[in-house]
Amino acid sequence: MSEYKSFDLLRKMYFVRTAGSAEDKKIQEILLDECKKFTDDVVLEEFDIDGYEIKKASLVFHDPQMSFDCAGVGLSGSTDQCGVTGEFCYLSSEADVEISDIEGKICLVTGKLVKVSMYKKIFNKKPAGLILTTGSVYDSNEDTDLDPYMYRDKHYNIGKIPAVCISMSDAEKLLRAMPLKATLTIIQDEKVNKTSNVVATIEGGSKKDEVVAFTAHYDSVSFSRGAYDNATGCICIMQLLSYYSQHKPDRTLKFIFCGAEEMGLLGSKAYVEKHADQLDKYCLNINVDMVAVTIGYDIACATSGMDLVNYINYEGKINGFAIMAKQGVYSSDSTPFADKGVPAVSFARIAPNGGAQIHSKKDVIDFLSENNYYKTCDFLTKFSERLINSICFPVKRDIPENMKEELDYYNGRKERKN
């Protein structure tokens, strides 16, 4: 492995960096400058993302009279200044019996992001508004980040339902009181923002027309400094960039630091769209999303044939590295590559329940292990180098039918049968 110590880069990235923000520009420059230490072929590839600015968000209940702190849900549309008033109801599931009579009502749905199949059912029944939740019933409001995910394009392409988000502990209090009516107000300006992918290239040797792409996303969610998710993935592929700058690969390598992953994998989607006419040269995508955690276990999720799954498990045993590889679709930047026919695998070190948390202010450096981090980097170096320099690329460039179906489910093109 390279003498370069990428774990030191972690502290430079240790700040909230939501896509489209001023901090987003700052992290791009940090990554750009770091990449230039290892290759002159580094570019920013800019793309558009949907954005918003919440002007007003409020939630008031009647009979009994109650109010709760709330945050507006981005890209959910706007009410007028007086808001919308309707009968209050709680949707605990997407069962037809619950959703059959919600027209004009204000509906509570637990979670920050509604399942697309459920959202479609709800939208077709014409509710007046939605109340989403974040946090835990065990957390005080002071310990809860009111950081709802903005709606994804899968949602607002169906249609917009004005929405706000409250804490889960407030939702529990609300359901105990069960008021008759609610007034929900949200006013927001929707706009187009800019962000970029940072792309570094190391040209290959004898097989330079074939490409292996490494990816990791650099953005975080609101409130989160994103040490675990996913500064660790970025520094890991930076470590690999350092290594291959000193050990010339047979195949061409792309190191793609993806923007706006937390908004729905937008950076990797933008990359595969921009480079659609070149993807037939891409042999494999290796994605790294969350490693280095102290309490955890290493996994690999391959959207490919079982040949890659078996190879990763074999490499783990040969190198004495405990890893569990399986076939599947991982919700990260590997998925857009697989959806375009490029075999892809995501590596992660998963924290168990009660371990390190992501998507909150609790995602901090304190729960990361430098030793665990370099063990993962060492394994990924050995794993990738054998593939990259192989005489014939051993991973079949084909997405099997069962994985195509899983991609359809993930992307909302199909709905699973109950």
Count Cα atoms within 13 angstroms, Cβ side, for 394: 16
Write the pLDDT tens digit of every residue in 50-71: 999 999 999 999 999 999 999 9
CA distances to 207, 234, 357, 359 from 203, rounded to whole Å, are: 9, 20, 38, 36
pLDDT of residue 1: 63
Instruction: Look at residue 199 and tell me whether its pLDDT is greater than 70.
Output: yes
Instruction: Look at residue 281 and tell me whether its pLDDT is greater than 90.
Output: yes
pLDDT of residue 418: 65
pLDDT of residue 43: 98
What value does the mean pLDDT take over residues 215-236? Answer: 97
* Averaged pLDDT of the chain: 96
Copy the structure tokens of residue 76: 């959910």
Nearest CA to 354 out of 399, 311, 293, 414 is that of: 293
DSSP per-residue string spanning 85-142: EEEEEE--S--HHHHTT-TT-EEE-SSSS--HHHHHHHHHT--SEEEEEES-TTS-GG
Write the pLDDT tens digit of every residue in 131-186: 999 999 998 888 899 987 888 888 999 999 999 999 999 999 999 999 999 999 99
Instruction: Look at residue 372 and tell me whether its pLDDT is greater than 70.
Output: yes
pLDDT of residue 2: 66
**What is this structure's pTM?**
0.94
Instruction: Look at residue 260 and tell me whether its pLDDT is greater than 90.
Output: yes
Copy the structure tokens of residue 150: 């903005």
Least confident of 222-236, 319-333, 404-418: 404-418
What value does the mean pLDDT take over residues 377-391? Answer: 97
Percent of the chain past pLDDT 70, that is, above it, reads 99
Length of the chain in residues, anyone? Answer: 418
Write the pLDDT tens digit of every residue in 14-39: 999 999 999 999 999 999 999 999 99
The Cα–Cα gap between 210 and 206 comes to 10
